[in-house]
Chains A and B, each alone.
Chain A
Amino acid sequence: MSEKPENAPEHCPGTESEDAGKSSACQGCPNQNICSSAKPKGPDPDLAVIQERLSSVKHKILVLSGKGGVGKSTVTSMLARGLALDDNLQVGILDVDICGPSIPRVMGLEGEQVHQSGSGWSPVYVEDNLGVMSAGFLLSSPDDAIIWRGPKKNGLIKQFLRDVDWEDTNYLVIDTPPGTSDEHLSVVQYLQNAVIDGAVIVTTPQEVSLMDVRKEINFCKKVKLPIIGVIENMSGFICPSCKNESQIFPPTTGGAEKMAEDMKVPFLGKLPLDPRIGKCCDEGTSFFEEFPDSPAVTSYQQIIKGIRRYCNEDDHMDTS
């Protein structure tokens, strides 16, 4: 594949070419520095290191959405916490949203830092069987911003995949930023030898979200990433006072279930808009523990069963 940016000179060799940034045509091109500082072509030795590192992780699940703010980090944390309720499972969360890392707050780990050990970077453990890694742990203050262009973000993602020591993990749930850009391409590229079970795609019911999510589904198909299924989040709000349901984000074009059917991908389920979920995310507490009788908990448990079934796990869950 030879990508030629719009502003490239006439004889641009292509950004993926071995001559990228180095040919005579590259002189004066605004992208020259970026292209010439890219790694030399040929098999990337880090891919084998990543494959080896992640060979102890049985199942890897990407949480994606074309759209921002639909609840990827919320769903990631709930899936991981829900899986970790089974003491037999070792679960990890990897947060590759470098500009907007929500996972530390959502998991109650704000202010934690990354520790190096002899075997690599250690995840931060919420429970004995639930470890977390995020770019958020690299920031020394909540106001610190990571203002990086794509290539530098890619470098950090590779480091996360290569250097974090997950030990023996049953499920690694990978949270992503919205979109179909550097982070997503990099995760898929760096994990190409390491087998991703599939992607869970999160959306809200309205067409403005579905528009972006269809693109994400097509992205998955383009890069041959299997799709475990689609989750419709914020699907209906039950007023705590009168118990009537309102559609705050109306499914004017049929919602996620219809979209999944149209695009021939599985539909995993709907999650209601429960303000207590957001509150737990803000406070970093477990919604499963705080509100075990909520309808949302039941919905999550069903979704987790579906995911475990997809990953060929035995269909049981220890919820004691």
Chain B
Amino acid sequence: MDLDNNLKSVKHKIVILSGKGGVGKSTVATQIALSLKQQGLKVGVLDVDLCGPSIPRMLNVEDKDIHQSSQGWVPVYPDPSQTLAVMSIAFLLNKKDDPVVWRGPKKNAMIKQFLSDVVWGDLDYLIIDTPPGTSDEHITVVEGLQGYNPDGAVLVTTPQAVAVGDVRRELTFCRKTKLPVLGVVENMSGFVCPHCAECSNVFSKGGGEALAREFNIPFLGCVPLDPQLSQCLENGQSFVEAFSSSPSAQILNKIAETLHQRTAMNGSIS
């Protein structure tokens, strides 16, 4: 796949995966991106979930359009500093409630275009958010990144066995496609009741950590449930910035820092 040069100016590419839906891929993708941005890095977020694109709302750019330049599509910048760039199919829809009812081949064509035609500029990190599964979108993204040395994948799961069961399959996907695994995040890991401070394991506990141990991959951390995180995502506010002292924000910041340290050792390649 000839993808011109637009990915060459991106130093590090991280894919956020999970076999399972609703575990917090978009949440983790946006908060890692915001955390890295806070550290002074230039970050892009590419949302290849074509049926359920959540990224624009979470980054407060829901009703934006994209523009064409002579070099390709200009991503959406949430703020004038242009240190965070966003691309999603949501920007191409006429009405936000319009479903994208496409079969695989059409989805693949769109994703290839996202990878080749977006003028990212000099980015330190491109975070690629994916839909759940091991199908067209995932195969096309991995194929598209071949030759551009992706740093690897972050796998997100919730603690319970039903989720971990799907994430095992995603690990198999990574192995078969030779995509390195940077680590596992266990999201929605415990809920501290705001009334009495009792911690409940709403979605069980420990499954993500056990999976990481079993497959000998780095465990990046447990992110507890926090209604303020949900609230921020709803409103497009940066949770890691607004509630930086909360346990969930601390862990998300730590995950971003760990990824930065690990991938910085890869150097800038391409």
Partners in one complex: yes
Interface set of A (CB-CB < 8 Å, partner B): 3, 5-8, 15, 30-31, 34-35, 66-70, 73, 99-100, 102, 105-106, 142-151, 153, 177-182, 184-185, 204, 206-208, 211-212, 214-216, 218-219, 222-223, 237, 239-242, 244, 246-250, 252-253, 273, 275, 278-279, 281-282
Also in contact, A102 and B165, with CB within 8 A (given A149-B136, A278-B202): yes
Q: Mark B89-117, 1 if CB is under 8 A from A, else 0.
A: 00000001111111111111110110000
B51 near A143 with CB under 8 A, answer no
Q: How far is the CB of A63 from chain B (nearest CB, A)?
A: 13
8 Å CB contact of A180 from B51, B58, B193: B51
Least distance between B165 CB and chain A CB atoms (Å):
6
Q: Could you tell me if B134 and A68 are in contact, using CB atoms closer than 8 angstroms?
A: no
Contact B193 A246 (CB under 8 A): yes
From B131, B200, B204, B231, contact of A252 by CB (8 A): B231
- Contact: B113 with A215, CB < 8 Å? no
Query: Given known contacts A35-B105, A182-B136, what 20 new A-B pairs fall within 8 Å (CB)?
Result: A6-B109, A6-B113, A31-B109, A100-B21, A142-B168, A147-B176, A149-B104, A149-B108, A181-B102, A181-B104, A207-B57, A208-B58, A208-B230, A211-B57, A237-B191, A242-B196, A248-B191, A249-B227, A250-B230, A275-B201
Closest to A209 in B: B22
Known interface pairs A15-B105, A206-B234. Does A145 touch B52 (Cβ–Cβ under 8 Å)?
A: no
Contacts of B202 in A (CB 8 A): 237, 248, 273, 275, 278
Chain A's closest residue to B173 (CB) is A145
Using a Cβ cutoff of 8 Å, how many contacts connect chains A and B?
A: 233
Our pick among B135, B194, B233 for the contact of A148 (Cβ within 8 Å) is B135
B100 and A180 form a contact (CB under 8 A): yes
Residue picked from B101, B176, B196, B233, most chain A C-beta under 10 Å: B101
Chain A residues whose C-beta falls within 8 Å of the C-beta of B234 in the assembled complex: 206-208, 250, 252-253
Give the interface size class of chain B: 35 or more
**Distance between B71 CB and nearest chain A CB, rounded to angstroms:** 18
Beyond A179-B52, A212-B52, whether A246 also contacts B227 by CB under 8 A is yes
> In the complex, which residue of chain B has the Cβ closest to the Cβ of A102?
B162
B146 lies within 8 A of chain A by Cβ: no
A67 adjacent to B22 (CB under 8 Å): yes
Tell whether A69 pairs with B23 under 8 Å between CB atoms, given A208-B233, A212-B52.
Answer: yes
Name the A residues within 8 Å of B79 (CB-CB).
none
Evaluate contact between B22 and A242: CB separation under 8 angstroms. Answer: no
- In the complex, the answer to whether A208 meets B109 with C-beta atoms within 8 Å is no
